[in-house]
Amino acid sequence: MDAQNMAEAVSMPRIGDKAPSFKAITTQGEINFPEQYSGSWVILFSHPADFTPVCTSEFITFASMADRFSEANCKLVGLSVDGLYSHIAWLRTIKEKIEYKGMKNIEIKFPLIEDITMRIAGKYGMIQPNESSTKAVRAVFVIDPEGIIRTIIYYPLSLGRNIDELYRIIIALQTSDAFSVSTPANWQPGDEAIIPAAGSSEEAGKRMEGKQDMTCYDWFFCTKKIDKEKLMDTILKK
Contact pick of 19, 37, 46, 48 for ligand BEZ (by CB under 6 A)? 48
Q: Of 112 and 171, which has the nearer Cβ to ligand BEZ?
A: 112
Site size with ligand BEZ, rule: CB under 6 A: 9
Q: What CA–CA distance (Å, rounded) separates 150 from 17?
A: 8
Based on the shown chain and the rule CB under 6 A, indicate whether residue 86 belongs to the binding site for ligand BEZ.
no
The full DSSP string for the chain is --HHHHHHHT----TTSBPPPEEEEEBTEEEEETGGGTTSEEEEEE-S-SS-HHHHHHHHHHHHTHHHHHHTTEEEEEEESS-HHHHHHHHHHHHHH-EETTEES----S-EEE-TT-HHHHHTT---TTT-SSS--EEEEEE-TTSBEEEEEEE-TT----HHHHHHHHHHHHHHHHHT-B--TT--TTS-EEPPPPSSHHHHHHHHHT-SSSEEEETTEEEE---HHHHHHHHHH-
CB of 79 to ligand BEZ, least distance (A): 14
Based on the shown chain and the rule CB under 6 A, indicate whether residue 49 belongs to the binding site for ligand BEZ.
yes
Contact pick of 4, 158, 186, 201 for ligand BEZ (by CB under 6 A)? 158
CB of 102 to ligand BEZ, least distance (A): 20
For residue 139, the one-letter residue type is A
Q: Site map for ligand BEZ, 1-40, x if CB under 6 A?
A: ----------------------------------------
Give catalytic status of residue 55 as yes or no: yes
Based on the shown chain and the rule CB under 6 A, indicate whether residue 157 belongs to the binding site for ligand BEZ.
yes
Catalytic member of 55, 74, 216, 222:
55
Taking contact as CB under 6 A, which single stretch among the options 51-59, 63-71, 116-124, 229-237 is the one that binds ligand BEZ?
A: 51-59
CA 229 distance to own-chain centroid = 23
Based on the shown chain and the rule CB under 6 A, indicate whether residue 52 belongs to the binding site for ligand BEZ.
yes
Whole-number Cα distances in Å, 235 to 123, 204, 209: 31, 30, 33
Taking contact as CB under 6 A, which single stretch among the options 50-58, 95-103, 192-200, 214-222 is the one that binds ligand BEZ?
A: 50-58
Based on the shown chain and the rule CB under 6 A, indicate whether residue 232 belongs to the binding site for ligand BEZ.
no
CB of 119 to ligand BEZ, least distance (A): 20
Based on the shown chain and the rule CB under 6 A, indicate whether residue 54 belongs to the binding site for ligand BEZ.
yes
Residues with a known catalytic role? 55
Could you list the residues that contact ligand BEZ (CB under 6 A)? 48-49, 52-55, 135, 157-158
